[in-house]
């Protein structure tokens, strides 16, 4: 049997919330010779990755082109969210507040009052955790 071993830093990185951002969002700006809105947000987030405490991933396309910029919040064992209509110039503290709200909720479903405005208004989909039981129970209330 092969066992994977991870350093403390690797384990910590594996347990960090993941923020996936559509790199193609508003691609028409890229055609004009500028970075897409999604790419600009990715760059801003990556400059602050360690301070934000999240892992940022670029996704080639979420196929939600009518709701740019689109991003997804994912945390192991919790519900995930796909959010659209995110302003690429959003205050990064709002994104951190959304990540914190999801992390603080046992099932990953924070109360509406705990969600920043862009999160409340922009939900496209909520996806169940991979480990959800066959009866649909995710362990939340």
Look at residue 35 in the predicted model and tell me its pLDDT: 84
Look at residue 32 in the predicted model and tell me its pLDDT: 58
Look at residue 139 in the predicted model and tell me its pLDDT: 52
What average pLDDT is seen over the chain?
82
CA distances from residue 44 to 6, 40, 89, 94, 118 in whole angstroms, order as listed: 29, 6, 9, 13, 17
Q: What is the pTM of this model?
A: 0.80
Look at residue 61 in the predicted model and tell me its pLDDT: 93
Look at residue 47 in the predicted model and tell me its pLDDT: 87
Share of the chain above pLDDT 70, in %: 77
Task: List the domain boundaries for the chain.
Answer: 16-127
pLDDT in tens, 87-140: 999 999 999 999 999 989 999 999 999 999 999 999 999 999 987 656 666 555
Q: What is the CATH number of domain 16-127?
A: 3.40.30.10
More confident residue, 108 or 50: 108
Q: How confident is the model at residue 16 (pLDDT cuts 50, 70, 90)?
A: confident
């Amino acid at each position: 049997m092969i066992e994977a071993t991870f350093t403390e830093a690797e384990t910590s990185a594996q347990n960090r919330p993941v923020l996936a951002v559509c790199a193609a969002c508003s691609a028409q700006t890229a055609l004009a010779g500028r970075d897409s809105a999604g790419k600009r947000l990715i760059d801003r987030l990556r400059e602050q990755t360690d301070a934000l405490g999240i892992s940022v991933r670029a996704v080639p396309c979420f196929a939600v082109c009518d709701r740019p910029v689109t991003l997804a919040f994912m945390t192991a064992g919790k519900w995930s969210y796909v959010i659209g209509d995110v302003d690429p110039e959003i205050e990064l503290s709002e994104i951190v507040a959304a990540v914190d709200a999801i992390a603080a909720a046992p099932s990953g479903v924070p109360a509406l009052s705990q969600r920043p405005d862009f999160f409340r208004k922009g939900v496209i989909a909520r996806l169940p955790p991979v480990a959800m039981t066959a009866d649909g129970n995710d362990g939340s209330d």
